[in-house]
Structure 1
């Protein structure tokens, strides 16, 4: 390795330039930026994250908050329909107000973004962490450990996420922080697929020469995992985590829609959809706005996750290049 580096530096010295190979991050960015759909999706995701992080500032500029009731802004004679056009939109309430309560809709949307994105991110971290530990332990363990952990993982994968989540969320005391609970339940039930992917990759990596040499030199399993396996597992795990994130956003929205997720007065997009299903005619923006934001978020994260997968997988990039070259040759 040092001889090759010295040779490249010597060649560069003769021409007045130093030829340095592109780093992994630079190669990743080079492959990602040629995918316009992924770049647009990344911009949308960054905008949503910025919206969630600056929610207190944005609501302060508007002069509202997500929990204050405004009964004077709803028509009690008509069942709580917002007063005014377009759901009560005005200079004080940019997107109108919530039916029956009169709470500011813009404030609840931006604070709901914090809850939905935060719960999905925490659940993804839990899934990846538990899946990494279980998958590496199964891949590096002996035959009995591998069999025991693999069968346990199969059981976890077979569990219906929604049914188990509803059951676990129903027995936990109401005083426990609900966003933390929802993220923990989704993560602790959904790690099985990650563990299967990590185990398969670990079994493949274990056969490589440098890992076999580390085992023969007396290294322990966790040292081998930390020094030899984790760097090689980074790309597939990051790719799968990027695809898990939109799935977990949908799971949080579904649990909140079913009444087992985040509880009022904490806003959540799924919770808002639960309340909006009877107002789609009288106040359609109360249904369309959270549903539209949820759809755009899941779509952007899915497209971005697919772009990350393509950028981290050199074989996909080479297949794309080969396919493009063959099409050009066919046209010629």
Structure 2
């Protein structure tokens, strides 16, 4: 709530409103959603595995780039020697066909790249989208028209085609994971800019923003102190759903050969190399595909939980049985009174 409006109420010209802890209410609502909590635990575990990749591979005694030609059968085209793709005490998930590189090491290091690219791209999208959306809503009619048309152009551009074109012309010595993240962020910020602009236009008409404007606050101060807190809920919600989208985009770009370059591992790159080994060494395809599926599913469920916790009026699309039983218990007394 606006500081100007609070001061007016304290002076006796308006009713005093009790301060409520939005963060506390958010965590309480999120805590009641078991699906979101499980998804959060899965995401936390994946992030922990990615951060601890050097430690985990050191415990295993392997690294993601060392070749082990003795662990593959060259007479059969490079199929891993041993059961389950060469699983052993030295190679926990087996080895890569043809090269013999350790799959566990490449999988956890690939998580660092895939998650890092997705989070960096999401941060770039949010930063650009919020700045453009707020500037369009608070600027003059001419500024709004220019920024809105620019946003429409960005939204209309095909993401994959633009990313392929940009990644193809950048020099190869530029750090590839950072480049992929920047390209995704710079090409796909249009939707969050539209959401931010629409929400800012709604907030502009509320009483506490009008009170701040009448108090002589500058546009920058109003945006920083009054509008940005109100934009937190929709922006955080959309950002939570952008992360899994960006993971799949990075995987698709790597699958097409313009993403992360070898020997740096990523899940999309592993899928690219595994497309001809799904019969001879199925674990080489199933491991990165399964990791990608679990990550995207967990982030999507968590994003839905965050959306519902920030907006309790919105019914979750992923309600579990407990939630439905709780709703039935809550509506039972109402039905009983109506019958009596």
Normalised to the residue count of structure 2, the TM-score between the two structures is 0.89
- Partner residue, 1:41: 39
1:285-320 C-alpha deviation (Å, 9 max, x unpaired): 0000000000000000000000000001132279x9
Distance 1:57 1:155, change over 3 A: same
- Partner residue, 1:127: 125
Distance 1:40 1:76, change over 3 A: same
- Partner residue, 1:239: 237
- Partner residue, 1:267: 265
Alpha-carbon distance in 1 for matches of 2:20, 2:146: 43
CA drift at 1:222 = 1.7
- Partner residue, 1:302: 300
1:155 paired with 2:153, answer: yes
- Partner residue, 2:94: 96
1:180-191 paired onto structure 2 within 5 Å:
180-191=178-189
Match of 2:144 among 143, 146, 152: 146
1:111-155 C-alpha deviation (Å, 9 max, x unpaired): 000000000000000000000000000000111111110011000
Alpha-carbon distance in 1 for matches of 2:230, 2:129: 15
- Partner residue, 2:59: 61
Note if contact 1:137-1:146 (Cα within 8 Å) is conserved in structure 2.
Answer: yes
1:220 paired with 2:218, answer: yes
Note if contact 1:41-1:301 (Cα within 8 Å) is conserved in structure 2.
Answer: yes
CA drift at 1:33 = 1.2
Alpha-carbon distance in 2 for matches of 1:330, 1:278: 60
- Partner residue, 2:320: none
- Partner residue, 1:203: 201
Distance 1:126 1:57, change over 3 A: same
Aligned-residue RMSD, C-alpha:
2.3
Note if contact 1:136-1:202 (Cα within 8 Å) is conserved in structure 2.
Answer: yes
Match of 1:177 among 169, 175, 195: 175
CA drift at 1:211 = 1.6
Normalised to the residue count of structure 1, the TM-score between the two structures is 0.91
- Partner residue, 1:165: 163
Alpha-carbon distance in 2 for matches of 1:105, 1:330: 58
1:234-282 C-alpha deviation (Å, 9 max, x unpaired): 1111111001111011111110111110000000000000000000000
1:326 paired with 2:337, answer: no
Deviates more, 1:68-77 or 1:209-218: 209-218
For these two proteins, the number of residue pairs brought into alignment is 317
- Partner residue, 1:12: none
Alpha-carbon distance in 2 for matches of 1:21, 1:157: 39
1:69-118 C-alpha deviation (Å, 9 max, x unpaired): 00111111111111111101110000000001000000000000000000
Say which SS state the counterpart of residue 316 (structure 1) adopts: coil
Segments of structure 1 that go 5 or more residues without pairing to the other structure are 6-19
Alpha-carbon distance in 2 for matches of 1:327, 1:249: 43
Alpha-carbon distance in 2 for matches of 1:317, 1:95: 41
CA drift at 1:22 = 5.8
